[in-house]
Structure 1
């Protein structure tokens, strides 16, 4: 693993929370009917005990490992189609990629931003966390947050792409994100922007990951109503190319 000693202490504390809160993720599935999938697993469960599923596509021995995720906010559902299309399509080459199309299944099914306890999961991570009405009772208080933290700790990816809506751009706020943000901007044909969250970001996935890991996490925002063709045909090819993969 490539984290600092402080990071390991923080992650150990997070792991302790997970063990108290529930069982670890299920073992990888032996088979998956989709030709691109080489491994699948349940990485955790939501407040309402719905499974959070991840699929591994591509080459597990590839030099680059990446994670792409969507629907951290349940009402930002369109980009999940990018990841589902990659998962359900032809085999992927040149990259070891995990896709998590729906991180917040309770919010997704209710078509709302927050999880079933009214928490904004992208304000619940233990980095610069601030107590607000929707940030949770404490850092990493939510089972969805802890599941994703544990999963990223185990996978230790070089790249994380977190898909959102509707701000239409690639987040290049902060020096660590800029070079990868430029690559994503060029490949996905989205403008580069600084998403400073108005008065300042707090408790976000990308803040936590970029502080704790050597890899880089970037937020990608599509518009409010991207076309079906863009989500299912154009963007999957673009994302694979940006990460160094192909079909």
Structure 2
């Protein structure tokens, strides 16, 4: 496989047509090598328009999101160099690496120790030094490091916990994929005041659930 041609095709044929036109984001996708964060068994899928499993046989659904989804979330958040970011769901560390190139500091939480260890090693090999990977339950955030300018949920949730929204600075943004299959929407929440939050729905997609988040009760008849 011609890796650079595959990377170019990913950007030009998948990501740009998905309304990702921010040149800074497009340039970043060429700089951070996605293939270095894909498990060896799935490396041939690094540039394919699909979710890539992170564990054997896709256990618990953990995966890398489609490249176009990751890119669109980055574009919507408009992360700046002075900002502090929290990511929930480290996975392979790829999204954390992208965020690290845009932000001053990234804290990323992973509930599966095996994945946290993999992400640390991937980030070390990629010489990404401004990311700290934490083992733990991302639904609670990181109160000790709050407030954050940006929070990213790298997976889906039924609803965004208030505990995470409360860890945003005023003016801070949180991106999450919210809802239940078959209808989920990527949404960006903005803290507009001490107790005020606004949000916009930016695109439809489907993503595996983040572990550790509450699910709404199901009706029984």
TM-score when normalising by structure 1: 0.30
**Per chain length, whose mean CA-contact separation is higher, i.e. which structure has more relative contact order (CA < 8 Å, sep 6+)?**
1
